[in-house]
Chains A and B, each alone.
Chain A
Amino acid sequence: MISFSQVNKRYPGGYQALKNVSFNIAEGEMVFLTGHSGAGKSTLLKLIAAIERPNSGSVLVNNQNVGVLKERALPYLRRNLGIIFQDHKLLFDRSVYDNVMLPLQICGFDHREGAKRVRASLDKVGLLNREKSNPISLSGGEQQRLCIARAIVNRPAILLADEPTGNLDVDYAKEIMDIFKSFHQVGVTLLISTHDTNVLQDRNVRVLSLKQGELQPAMNESRLP
């Protein structure tokens, strides 16, 4: 589903964010991406969504080389991805409901058709009773969940999450991990970046570990049974 092969990414100015990174993620897998801040986790996720392009190597998503994708084709790649941003990227000039509606509007959904999906999404993350609120009135954990609702409303096959539990206390973090787990159970491919080792300890999942832009031969890398 997602395949990196000898990917290098250097930012203008010379900073080498990723060095010779190769890995494969199969359809339906849930994979954690760990490493310290600045290890290249966000860059790796941006390469998958073609927000950044690699300097060399290939990034395949659904057998499509997104590193060389034309500008015109990008929107259609991104519609197949659900992205949960580190900084949420919610719009505070509209309600919770309208924030989740936005991806559907972009895909050309009718308001009535979209309404069902929006409510299903909000229900999934437990925000259905807040649909008329402005996102600014939500707590950090609720904003994170709203961001998840917006990412899944399109029913994407791949979900990318950048530090979804970064600023949350343990209970909220566990809640969000449970939501991801439920997506995993219905066959969504997930790639979740985190530098919180607590989240990883009690889970028997595959972990990709980045250190200064290089993929570590992870000791704890293992697959779900």
Chain B
Amino acid sequence: MIHAFTRHFAILRSVLSRILSPPVAGILNIIVIGIALSLPTGMYVLLQNGQSMVENLSDAPQISLFLEIAAKSGDVDALRSKLNQHPDIAKIEFVPRDQALEQLKHSTGLSDVIGGLESNPLPDAFIVHPKSGEAHAMEALKIELAKLPGVDQAHLDSAWAYKLEALLKFGRIAAMILASLLSFALVAITFNTIRLQILTQREEIEVSKLIGATNAFIRRPFLYFGATQGLLGGIAAYLIISSSLLLLNHQLDSLAQLYASQFELHPLSLGDSITLLLFSMYLGWLGAWLSVARHLSRIEPG
């Protein structure tokens, strides 16, 4: 057991020294892999951030019903009982026009302007919470409510959030396509590196076979090489993404201060980071395996 461990460790050590000799070529390889991985992963990080933003902002999708300015309290009561009986509505809130004006004064700092108004320009309003959060159902409900007597306008407040979410879905698919294409590129890079190595070590492989090396013994260093190179590429990708986020957050910070709000991009989570590293390691291993399977059998001593 300890033997096996030290033996594998010895292979790993020789693999590391081989990756870095010549150092420039080895490091360039790792950086290329890192960049290839960081593109889809970076996209994923941005999408994740967009997703959490949407979830924060649109947790309560609602429809605002603005009544006609001339609506009397009798009309309002009739509308209220209609809305209460509607099967698709979970809850309603009534916002009288005076209260709306007060809120506007407080929340926007426009009190001077509003104080100068002769009469309240705001209508009474109902805020309707639908039972279903589905975009289609809400859209249909909005159209239906807009036709009720006494209703001037119906407004779907979180419509933009749904649009953003659809955009995010689109982005996710684009990221998936990019990820699969670049994964293929990573496999191809490793495939080629290993092919060159097998060619340069042809003699060693031949001699090893002649003195009793099993195929597994010959394969092992190449597979370790592929996996290690993939892992280092994954680490490079992680560093690229982390430093990019750091730069972006620095810039976002000053931007957010202008809007007097807090906003920052979250880095890769621990789980996602581990997934990235394992995946890149696996791709490197796969490229090496394919290469070894293809090229090693052709080297037969004779």
Q: Is A142 an interface residue (CB 8 A)?
A: no
Q: Is B301 an interface residue (CB 8 A)?
A: yes
In whole angstroms, what is the CA distance A49 to B212 when docked? 10
Question: B203 touching A106 by the CB < 8 A rule?
Answer: no
Counting contact residues on chain A (CB < 8 A from B), the size range is: 20 to 34
Question: A102 touching B208 by the CB < 8 A rule?
Answer: yes
Cross-interface CB contact of B211 among A46, A72, A83, A110, cutoff 8 Å: A83
Q: CB-CB contacts of B269-302 with A at 8 A, as 1s and 0s?
A: 0000000000000000000000000000000011
Question: A110 touching B210 by the CB < 8 A rule?
Answer: no
Interface residues of A in 59-99 (CB under 8 A from B): 72, 75-79, 83, 85, 89, 91, 93
Question: A78 touching B204 by the CB < 8 A rule?
Answer: no
Question: A111 touching B10 by the CB < 8 A rule?
Answer: yes
Question: A103 touching B204 by the CB < 8 A rule?
Answer: no
Q: Is A150 an interface residue (CB 8 A)?
A: yes
Interface residues of B in 199-216 (CB under 8 A from A): 203-204, 206-214
In whole angstroms, what is the CA distance A58 to B209 when docked? 23
Residues of B within 8 A of A89 (CB): 203, 206-207, 210
Q: Is A107 an interface residue (CB 8 A)?
A: yes
Question: B203 touching A150 by the CB < 8 A rule?
Answer: no
Q: Is A52 an interface residue (CB 8 A)?
A: yes
B6, B210, B217: most-surrounded residue (chain A CB, <10 A): B210
Give A82 Cβ to nearest chain B Cβ, in Å: 9
Q: Provided the pairs A106-B217, A110-B6 are in contact, do residues A51 and B211 lie with their beta carbons within 8 angstroms?
A: no
Cross-interface CB contact of B212 among A51, A52, A75, cutoff 8 Å: A75
Residue of A nearest to B203 (CB): A91
Give A11 Cβ to nearest chain B Cβ, in Å: 10
Residues of A within 8 A of B214 (CB): 72, 75, 106
Question: B210 touching A51 by the CB < 8 A rule?
Answer: yes
B203, B209, B212, B214: most-surrounded residue (chain A CB, <10 A): B212
Q: Is A108 an interface residue (CB 8 A)?
A: yes
In whole angstroms, what is the CA distance A148 to B202 when docked? 22
Q: CB-CB contacts of A171-187 with B at 8 A, as 1s and 0s?
A: 00000000000000000
Residue of B nearest to A52 (CB): B302
Question: A106 touching B301 by the CB < 8 A rule?
Answer: no
Counting contact residues on chain B (CB < 8 A from A), the size range is: 10 to 19
Residues of A within 8 A of B207 (CB): 89, 91, 102
Residues of B within 8 A of A49 (CB): 210
Question: B210 touching A78 by the CB < 8 A rule?
Answer: yes
Q: Is B266 an interface residue (CB 8 A)?
A: no
Residues of A within 8 A of B213 (CB): 75, 106
Give A43 Cβ to nearest chain B Cβ, in Å: 11
Q: Provided the pairs A52-B302, A91-B203, A93-B204 are in contact, do residues A78 and B3 lie with their beta carbons within 8 angstroms?
A: no
Give A155 Cβ to nearest chain B Cβ, in Å: 13
Q: Is B169 an interface residue (CB 8 A)?
A: no
Q: Is B80 an interface residue (CB 8 A)?
A: no
Question: A51 touching B208 by the CB < 8 A rule?
Answer: no
In whole angstroms, what is the CA distance A150 to B217 when docked? 18
Q: Is B7 an interface residue (CB 8 A)?
A: yes
Residue of B nearest to A82 (CB): B211
The 26 listed contacts between A and B (C-beta, < 8 Å) are: A49-B210, A72-B214, A75-B209, A75-B212, A75-B213, A75-B217, A76-B212, A79-B212, A83-B211, A85-B210, A89-B203, A91-B207, A93-B204, A102-B208, A102-B211, A106-B208, A106-B214, A107-B212, A108-B3, A108-B7, A110-B3, A110-B7, A111-B6, A150-B211, A154-B211, A154-B212
Using CB atoms and an 8 Å cutoff, list the residues of chain B in contact with chain A. 3, 6-7, 10, 203-204, 206-214, 217, 301-302
**Other CB < 8 Å A-B pairs besides A91-B207, A150-B211, 13 of them?**
A49-B210, A51-B302, A75-B209, A75-B213, A75-B217, A89-B207, A91-B203, A102-B207, A108-B3, A110-B6, A110-B7, A111-B6, A111-B10
The 10 closest A-B pairs by CB, nearest first: A79-B212, A78-B212, A106-B213, A75-B212, A75-B214, A103-B211, A89-B207, A110-B3, A106-B212, A91-B204
